[in-house]
Structure 1
């Protein structure tokens, strides 16, 4: 309240502000009480608040303004601040920031009953023992002033890293999901042997040109049903967070190209900076780096050659 009065006293005067706020706010709200509080030596807590609130504001803004208490607490700890969850929540209130709420899922997939459907090899078990074992894929859309932008993501189940993505003005299989798959395949060295590719029964994923490409890369196709959020839950969760954290926060969107550029930035943040509760507040990149470091340390040391 002191801060509020300080910000507005030159315009309205201390007496008037205190008179207006007194019926609604309990406390010292008299001009005499205000002046006594202003002249009082700041407490250690107040000094710490003055230091931490700007940091809360900065870090919250740098992470798309979406973090709630849990992730802000984890982020502050990663930044070296010795701070508790309750303290984080109190500072967020002082800073006027809060987490974003997830939106309801919207199902956009259309099935073609004439297409042959691969077996569901996942059965709602979205777990993997390492990267490049199981990828989940889905499509969503964004309304722009110039028409719809369609977005395809390929996500690695182990690390939750988005390994491929594409934004296009069409749903055609050879353009929208195919280019996302090709990006993911390129990242994996164009060899997906032993990998399961899971999607729903959408016609763009069941198209022959797309399923042939999956087999060509060495992967095994798997599909759930259409309209059942549990059969492709992780992929739909990525879509939902994309809409919540980026699209609804930054809109309205003018063009497909604008969506594409923003998606590029968001995917980089998702993979490299965003803390994931499902990953024990780590980033997808950190999870993969830890996995490969463990694999390397588990390799037997090369035998030393004897001296002659």
Structure 2
């Protein structure tokens, strides 16, 4: 009880200090914190989800002009300026514009694996083919990244991990859970995109040590991993896009 009281006092002190620096009242701060997202902010969140999908499907090549065109084709009436603002705020940019910058450490990543799945999303029995992908969930604390592993036979999520960074640990922990839950299955195809986390040495080493067959989508072909994309679409439609998560833990 004493510890809880001390924590509450520290929190109140921090809030009062912050409000003093910002020149706002404490009640005004809490009113702002408890306020739900406006319609404009909800629209921005929906647009940003689509922007990330189109940017990912272009293998990080598309800038705001081409992504705006994709959004319009998808039924969104949005200006190029708004798309550019959303992309800039989220740190999304075309890798073509980043000249002379090394984006991948070739010493810690491995060449892309062949596409062993070839869009054959119907498995005849469990543990023959798994698919994995990563997405993001917006919270007031910042992005929460989620990786999942899905068995194509049952479409069941057999492994997952959440972290505040999209790094190798995120996908390695997801694979580790799937292997543990399925009792160290051997010979299964494990399909993903060509992202640096999936091409990392640690992830590929875990696949090799467990006799799992790596498979990767072709560049710019998000339909090669359509099952995972569909799962994330349903997840966001039901549990993300209409929610306002204050913290990563709440999400």
User: Is the TM value for this pair above 0.5?
Assistant: yes
Instruction: Output aligned runs, 1:10-89, within 5 Å.
Output: none
Seen in structure 2, the aligned counterparts of structure 1 residues 147 and 104 have a Cα distance that, compared at 3 Å, is closer
Structure 1 segments (4+ residues) deviating >3 Å: 103-106, 108-115
Deviation of the 1:240 alpha carbon: 1.0
Deviation of the 1:113 alpha carbon: 9.1
Q: Between Structure 1 and Structure 2, whose CA radius of gyration is higher?
A: 1
Instruction: Output aligned runs, 1:249-288, within 5 Å.
Output: 249=242, 251-259=243-251
- The count of corresponding residues between Structure 1 and Structure 2 is 154
- Conservation of the 8 A alpha-carbon contact between 1:198 and 1:223: yes
Q: Normalized against structure 1, the TM-score is what?
A: 0.47
Determine if the alignment matches structure 1 residue 138 to structure 2 residue 129: no
- 2:182 alignment partner in structure 1: 188
Q: Deviations over 1:94-126 (max 9, x none)?
A: xxxxxxxxx858426568594401110011111
Name the SS for the 1:124 alignment partner.
coil
Instruction: Output aligned runs, 1:108-147, within 5 Å.
Output: 109=56, 112=104, 114=106, 115-147=110-142
Deviation of the 1:229 alpha carbon: 2.2
Q: Normalized against structure 2, the TM-score is what?
A: 0.57
Superposed CA RMSD in Å reads 2.0
- 1:232 alignment partner in structure 2: 225
- 2:7 alignment partner in structure 1: none
Unaligned 5+ segments in structure 1 are 1-102, 260-308
Counterpart Cα distance in 2 of 1:213 and 1:192: 13
